[in-house]
Amino acid sequence: MRNTPAKATRVMVVDDHDLVREGIRARLGSAPGIEICAECVCAEDALEMIPITCPDVVLLDISMPGMNGLEAAPALGAASPNSRILFLSIYDNEQYVQEALRVGAAGYLLKDVSRAEMLAAISAVANGGTYIGSKLASALTSRDTRDSEATSRHGLTQREAEVLAGIARGRTNKEIALDLDISVRTVESHRMSIREKTGGGNAAQLTRIAGELGLLQ
């Protein structure tokens, strides 16, 4: 009985830099079980192409002219519900990772990722899983450890630890609210709770406490 060949994973590449697309093509073009079904230079082109090509995975840049990747991800998902978004970005900021997941991405990789890890991420995402690049995962784990220390020493919630870190970095209530996708009133409520729990009465004292807890690393 003849075996049926496994279906190739169809990948759409969306990036405005020719060299990046060429590099991805070179990495993936010879990989077994991978088919690059489309290359787009902007999100607008991707939105036109995705209903036609129906990729399994969209490798999506964040920073592009016009609509950026974070804005495009929900629209791409709506246009092709079975396509999974995997961000490929130069930004190693954990806030970008959190925002990417919030808008529906299944994974996030840095552009300097190895070929082996890129293939592993595509496979994981195509099969319904999620994948955060190894470098980013280490940073997020480190942050979770620091937040855990903050919660254990002062009884802060994880959100309060995040607000405290923002205060210590000199962020305004409005900026913290935007960073964490919460309301300004919620930030104000967290600030009041943080002062009560830590005994910090002003920004300088709260900054010192955040430093002691390792929230600024």
User: Span 111-140, mean pLDDT?
Assistant: 84
The predicted pLDDT at position 1 comes to 45
Q: Which fold has domain 143-212?
A: Arc Repressor Mutant, subunit A (1.10.10)
Comparing C-alpha atoms, which of 167, 173, 178, 177 is closest to residue 213? 167
Contact status, residue 99 vs residue 77, Cβ threshold 8 Å: no
Burial 72-111 (b: 16+ CB within 10 A, else e): bbebbbebbeebbbbbbbebeeeebbebbbebebbbbbbb
Strand order in the sheet with 9-14: 34-40, 9-14, 57-60, 84-89, 107-110, 131-132
Residue 4 is given by DSSP the state: P
More confident residue, 157 or 124: 124
User: Span 167-185, mean pLDDT?
Assistant: 85
Q: Give the Cα separation of 161 and 145 in Å (integer).
A: 11
Q: Give the Cα separation of 142 and 130 in Å (integer).
A: 19
pTM of the model: 0.64
Comparing C-alpha atoms, which of 161, 153, 205 is closest to residue 180? 161
Give 86-116 pLDDT, tens digit per residue.
999 988 877 788 788 888 898 899 998 899 9
- Provide the 10 A C-beta neighbour count for residue 210: 23
Comparing C-alpha atoms, which of 131, 105, 104 is closest to residue 116? 131
**Where do the domains of the chain lie?**
9-134, 143-212
Give 139-175 pLDDT, tens digit per residue.
565 555 555 555 556 778 878 888 888 888 888 889 8
Contact status, residue 139 vs residue 92, Cβ threshold 8 Å: yes
The predicted pLDDT at position 21 comes to 94
Report CA-CA distances (Å) from 168 to 138, 182, 193, 210, 216: 23, 18, 15, 6, 8
As assigned by CATH, the class of the 9-134 domain is alpha beta
